[in-house]
Structure 1
Amino acid sequence: MKLIKPYITACLLLLLTASCSKDFLKEDPRSNLTPDNFYKTSNDLNMAAIGLYTQVNGAFNQSAGFSTLWGGDDMTVARAGNKISYSDFDTYQANSSNDRMTNWWSYFYATIKSSNSLINNYQNATEASEDDRNHAAGQAYFFRALSYFFLTRTWGEVPLTTDNTVDYNRSKSQPAEIYALIVADLQKAEAMLPDAWDGTKRQSGVDIPPTRGSAKALLANVYLTMAGWPLKQTDKYVLAAAKAKEVIDNKATWGYDLTTNYADLWKRGGKFNHETVFGCYYNVNVSGWAWENYNMLTPNAYAPDDEGGWGDGYGEINFYKKFPPGPRKEATYQSVYYINNDPNDAVDWTKTLHKHPYFFKFRDDDAFNPVNHVNNNWIGSHTVPVIRYAEVLLTYAEAKAMSASPDATAYAAINQVRNRSGIANLVAGLSQAAFRDSVIAERGWEFAGAEPAARWYDLIRTETVAKANSDRDASEEALKNIPNDASHTFYWAPIPVGDKQLNPNL
């Protein structure tokens, strides 16, 4: 106290002395950052772009946002404790008060707000080179498109803004209007982003920010989605196939390819890999507390309760049973479980507490001990692949078949994914519909679990949500409501209650 009191007295004297000066109340705007005085140099643009990654990382580094995907037939969860918010989507009873889904809503809109600021001001950076201005804006266009893509696929009609004006009466926009902006943004990103980065933006030969190839890959997926529900613009199949083929034909330009072994994607040594077309990168060793730098999908989130995990979600039984055996299935799901982390008490999934197969994706991080399955930390550094080259191949296969017919190139694309997974070539001579269904099934197995290339979105665009969920094992939590593929009930998540209270038009 003897040391603190003089300090307080000195501070009060300083404050009082300053308050006697007429200049004390004068504001000096030179020290306040505003769009008018911030966007001047290349460093300013770089700082603004880095801020976008923080927000996107926050969207994909935890189970919360992914909760809206539990409506698919690949994931389920125990209806108890803090898992009820996930279960609400799994059993079709989620409402506007669901606390988990707001993670995506908030982070994606934060990304859009920052992207809007950069897009509307990058030309003011007269001290930066034209390349630096274009590269910064290209990233902002990419991230705004990515954010709206996830928002409209998850919530359908959402507010659309390209500025940062606060408007509590803004109406929701129709998906067609939202997709028009997404396409326009990605076309700009294609033109403005580089083919490769240098310096710290390139790690182990892998580009961390999005590149021209990333924009093309995302645009291909956007076109494919536009061809399905709700827009049903089937002319977009041709565009999806053409854009995906650009990526495939020029994969060497961006260094894309399938990893030789599927399991390598999920090993701790696979942080930087050439299959990730765009990903979120994390580093648990960053000093201080930096929430968006840490990945909370690993190693605890999907670990079984029997091994001290959180059990945020696990595989649905019938989906697991239909999953083709081979190295992909072995890498996707945990095969052996150590009760109370005792290797001498090893069981299969049927003997676990919840009697379900758990996903092994994201488990093998630095904090995971493979000897006894102990998780020594609840945060990790695992990369979250937002777009994978496997998705580009499957997008091309489906779009090519639906725009014309399942030709040799479409078969070659899907067979690359199947062969890497230990599965034989797809049977030849399939009809257009049968081939498409085979691709959808392949996508389900390839991206099962908490991956951004989610099974849920495939079920929505193909209007098969109810059909997929009709094949549900009797031991699963019973559905509270039944989705309808004709009326599309329960296809979209409810708008978060907080925003609805602020804006009556939501």
Structure 2
Amino acid sequence: MITLKANKMKLYITALLLLMLVTSCSKDFLKEDPKSSLTPDNFYKTADDLNMAAIALYTQVNGAFNQSGGFSTLWGGDDMTVARAGNKISYSDFDTYQATSSNDRMTNWWSYFYATIKSSNSLLSNYQNATAASEDDRNHAAGQAYFFRALSYFFLTRTWGKVPLITDNKVDYSRTKAEPSEIYTLIVADLQKAETMLPDAWDGTKRQNGVDIPPTRGSAKALLANVYLTMAGWPLKQTDKYALAAAKAKEVIDNKAAWGYELTTNFADLWKKTGKFNHETVFGCYYNVNVSGWAWENYNMLTPNAYAPDDEGGWGDGYGEINFYKKFPPGPRKEATYQSVYYINNDPGNAVDWTKTQHKHPYFFKFRDDDAFNPVNHVNNNWIGSHTVFVIRYAEVLLTYAEAQAMSASPDATAYTAINQVRNRSGIADLVGGLSQTAFRDSVIAERGWEFAGVEPAARWYDLIRTETVGKANSDRDASEETLKSIPDDASHTFYWAPIPIGDQQLNPNL
């Protein structure tokens, strides 16, 4: 959550509680549970009302990205795995291709994203009623709602494929699933509105250490570029979208100064506790463990304990697949991505490498360095933290442009410049010149895998899906990994999408 002054934080938390009673949803997004006489008709009047409604949206998105649950749907990629034991089985089900509609982990994303959509719909239906607010205030609030609704549907359709497309707040247990093409039409329309309605920069508490906390016009353009790139691949295969992706990403690159975007000089600095506010973040979820009172969405549970090794008292929610780790180019990016030294039972005198750990896998070091992490003995003094989750990084904008430009025209000098910025920051030499269109594209996909390995929203899993290489990637699996229950097929696209949660299937037989 945004770091705010104490008095404003109290106001916003009160507002969030009220707003979420009106606009949010319960465990199953189709259920309705009214608890207050506060209604959208009598709420949206002033600029403060709009601001509170927008903060409620941000809070719900924070809840989606602050824990491992929803990320479990990405474990089918070749970069992540986990032990098939205890409460990790729900994660392992996706890793080994045996997840069912009863999987309890994936519902975190399903519920939070649909809650965000429901709240966005409410704001978009009522923001014009705030006659006491300025036109800019109304537009900025609506711009955020369009952005968050698009972001939510983007993750939903990439994860579940065909899902209900809801643009109202009517209770309807007979809704059918929309085709991805319909969903992407709405996503594009929402982001085109967001990029005209959002500001280039925020002020006051919405800007921390020179970094904008809510989405900006630049955030909307960057997300739209990612959406176009995805539309060019499976399942839509609208290859004309490559040119649109390149053009939109170039807008962000050419105007990066307007939004303050740049690559962090050292990759490792992104993951240090001192790096939570940085100019590589195009859009991120910000957390503050020091907010008084229990506020679930204010805390990041990906840090510092979730991906710490069991040998150091961690939860071991996931770790790196061995063959992916071995193919990862050496250098400062790899050193920052993976933990290099492990202290058995937190004893620095008993230091080993990953081959000597309990699960004999390399663990990710991303998110470990937080206020509760002791680098001397690797003790985690808390199970929640304040680390930022980078939903969109400027590195992704550069790689989106490189791939889209190559696929829409050719791997020209601008495409090489874009990918080489990311490679050079990572300690890797320039990409070899003269590559064919396909070879260049494959190089970008590999680069994205290394850049965003592990628990990042710019997930390796989504790249494998859109390039129809899930089965191919998983065919190169170390013999010591958990045995695959099923084998994904790239021709028939089996196991590409997660099953619809059972709770909503029971409410609506059309799901």
2:119 matched to 1:111? no
2:249 matched to 1:241? no
SS in 1 for 2:397: helix
Counterpart CA distance in 1 for 2:126 and 2:405 is 39
Give CA-to-partner distance per residue, 1:443-466, whole Å, 9 cap, x none: 000000000000000000000000
Distance 1:35 1:332, change over 3 A: same
**Does the CA contact (< 8 Å) of 2:16 and 2:55 recur in 1?**
no
Distance 1:469 1:13, change over 3 A: closer
Counterpart CA distance in 1 for 2:199 and 2:14 is 57
Give CA-to-partner distance per residue, 1:434-484, whole Å, 9 cap, x none: 000000000000000000000000000000000000000000001000000
Distance 1:412 1:505, change over 3 A: same
**Does the CA contact (< 8 Å) of 2:301 and 2:383 recur in 1?**
yes
Counterpart CA distance in 2 for 1:232 and 1:24 is 30
Tell me the number of residue pairs that the alignment of Structure 1 and Structure 2 aligns. Answer: 503
What 5-or-longer segments of structure 1 have no aligned partner?
none
Counterpart CA distance in 2 for 1:138 and 1:372 is 46
Give CA-to-partner distance per residue, 1:300-344, whole Å, 9 cap, x none: 000000000000000000000000000000000000000000000
Distance 1:42 1:429, change over 3 A: same
**Does the CA contact (< 8 Å) of 2:325 and 2:362 recur in 1?**
yes
What 5-or-longer segments of structure 2 have no aligned partner?
1-8
**Does the CA contact (< 8 Å) of 1:280 and 1:384 recur in 2?**
yes
Give CA-to-partner distance per residue, 1:326-372, whole Å, 9 cap, x none: 00000000000000000000000000000000000000000000000
Distance 1:472 1:123, change over 3 A: same
Distance 1:18 1:33, change over 3 A: closer
**Does the CA contact (< 8 Å) of 2:303 and 2:370 recur in 1?**
yes
| Displacement after TM superposition at 1:217 (Å) | 0.1
**Does the CA contact (< 8 Å) of 2:154 and 2:227 recur in 1?**
yes
| Displacement after TM superposition at 1:32 (Å) | 2.9
Counterpart CA distance in 1 for 2:25 and 2:488 is 69
Distance 1:123 1:474, change over 3 A: same
Counterpart CA distance in 2 for 1:480 and 1:22 is 29
Distance 1:501 1:9, change over 3 A: closer
Give CA-to-partner distance per residue, 1:17-45, whole Å, 9 cap, x none: 99999999999999932111111100000
Distance 1:372 1:505, change over 3 A: same
Give CA-to-partner distance per residue, 1:57-99, whole Å, 9 cap, x none: 0000000010000000000000000000000000000000000
Distance 1:16 1:256, change over 3 A: closer
SS in 1 for 2:28: helix
User: Within 5 A, what are the aligned runs for 1:132-211?
Assistant: 132-211=137-216
Counterpart CA distance in 2 for 1:505 and 1:385 is 35
TM-score (norm 1): 0.94
Counterpart CA distance in 2 for 1:272 and 1:281 is 9
Distance 1:2 1:223, change over 3 A: closer
Match of 1:480 in 2: 485
2:394 matched to 1:386? no
User: Within 5 A, what are the aligned runs for 1:70-469?
Assistant: 70-469=75-474
**Does the CA contact (< 8 Å) of 2:30 and 2:507 recur in 1?**
no
Distance 1:31 1:322, change over 3 A: closer
**Does the CA contact (< 8 Å) of 2:24 and 2:119 recur in 1?**
no
Distance 1:347 1:228, change over 3 A: same
- Structure showing greater radius of gyration is 1
**Does the CA contact (< 8 Å) of 1:283 and 1:293 recur in 2?**
yes
**Does the CA contact (< 8 Å) of 1:18 and 1:24 recur in 2?**
no
Give CA-to-partner distance per residue, 1:202-222, whole Å, 9 cap, x none: 000000000000000000000
Distance 1:119 1:29, change over 3 A: closer
Distance 1:125 1:422, change over 3 A: same
Distance 1:41 1:434, change over 3 A: same
Counterpart CA distance in 2 for 1:22 and 1:74 is 30
SS in 1 for 2:75: helix
**Does the CA contact (< 8 Å) of 1:332 and 1:448 recur in 2?**
yes
**Does the CA contact (< 8 Å) of 1:79 and 1:477 recur in 2?**
yes
SS in 2 for 1:278: strand
Distance 1:20 1:436, change over 3 A: closer
Counterpart CA distance in 2 for 1:395 and 1:88 is 30
| Displacement after TM superposition at 1:380 (Å) | 0.1
**Does the CA contact (< 8 Å) of 1:298 and 1:378 recur in 2?**
yes
Counterpart CA distance in 2 for 1:57 and 1:370 is 27
**Does the CA contact (< 8 Å) of 2:312 and 2:344 recur in 1?**
yes
Distance 1:369 1:45, change over 3 A: same
**Does the CA contact (< 8 Å) of 1:223 and 1:239 recur in 2?**
yes
| Displacement after TM superposition at 1:11 (Å) | 30
Match of 2:6 in 1: none
Identity of aligned residues (%): 91
SS in 2 for 1:159: coil
Distance 1:96 1:22, change over 3 A: closer
SS in 2 for 1:110: helix
Tell me the C-alpha RMSD between the 2 structures: 7.0
**Does the CA contact (< 8 Å) of 2:25 and 2:118 recur in 1?**
no
Counterpart CA distance in 2 for 1:40 and 1:451 is 38
Distance 1:2 1:406, change over 3 A: closer
SS in 2 for 1:200: helix
**Does the CA contact (< 8 Å) of 2:31 and 2:171 recur in 1?**
no
Which shows bigger deviation, 293-302 or 29-38? Answer: 29-38
Distance 1:306 1:11, change over 3 A: closer
Distance 1:15 1:65, change over 3 A: closer
Distance 1:476 1:229, change over 3 A: same
Counterpart CA distance in 1 for 2:348 and 2:322 is 25
| Displacement after TM superposition at 1:10 (Å) | 32
User: Within 5 A, what are the aligned runs for 1:21-40?
Assistant: 32-40=37-45
Distance 1:39 1:348, change over 3 A: same
Distance 1:18 1:148, change over 3 A: closer
**Does the CA contact (< 8 Å) of 1:58 and 1:292 recur in 2?**
yes
**Does the CA contact (< 8 Å) of 2:16 and 2:56 recur in 1?**
no
Give CA-to-partner distance per residue, 1:352-408, whole Å, 9 cap, x none: 000000000000000000000000000000000000000000000000000010000
Counterpart CA distance in 1 for 2:370 and 2:187 is 34
SS in 2 for 1:239: helix
| Displacement after TM superposition at 1:8 (Å) | 31
| Displacement after TM superposition at 1:15 (Å) | 30
Distance 1:307 1:129, change over 3 A: same
| Displacement after TM superposition at 1:172 (Å) | 0.2
SS in 2 for 1:97: coil
| Displacement after TM superposition at 1:227 (Å) | 0.1
Counterpart CA distance in 2 for 1:25 and 1:84 is 27
Counterpart CA distance in 2 for 1:446 and 1:434 is 18
